[in-house]
Amino acid sequence: MMVGVRWIYRFIPVPVLVCAVMPDRFDALALGVAVLVRPGSRDDEALIAHELVHCRQFYRSFGLNALRYWLSRDFRYQAELEAVREQLRINPAARSAAIQMLLTAYDLGVSRRQVENDL
């Protein structure tokens, strides 16, 4: 089910779709050109903003970010930091949950101290 369309770079439409099927540890996913969000998180604008950062990363790298994200922990960490910063700009109260995600959900191999310093 479509929640709506968001725009990145003012002219690229990104469909936001409600979808219950995704890895357990995530409430939303970016698939390059689209965002999937669990039904219970469909109104989480900060989370959707996080995923839209990943869509921007996709377009500005001509899709190569997906490969680099998969191959490189450091690239993945930088990509997630950028997305989490945007998420926390909208919802600062999500900080501790976001830190926990960075420590557990992306195989980043970073310490809590490093994450707290970098955010």
# residues near Zn ion by CB under 5 A: 2
Torsion angle, alpha carbons of 38, 36, 117, 86, to 10: -110
- The C-alpha angle 36, 38, 41, rounded to 5 degrees, equals 110
**Using the rule CB under 5 A, is 83 a contact of Zn ion?**
yes
Q: Which stretch binds Zn ion (CB under 5 A): 6-14, 16-24, 40-48, 83-91?
A: 83-91
By CB atoms closer than 10 A (0-12, 13-18, 19+), residue 114 is middle
Q: Which is nearer to Zn ion, 11 or 72 (CB)?
A: 72
Comparing CB distances to Zn ion, the nearer of 27 and 80 is: 80
Contact residues for Zn ion, defined by CB under 5 A: 80, 83
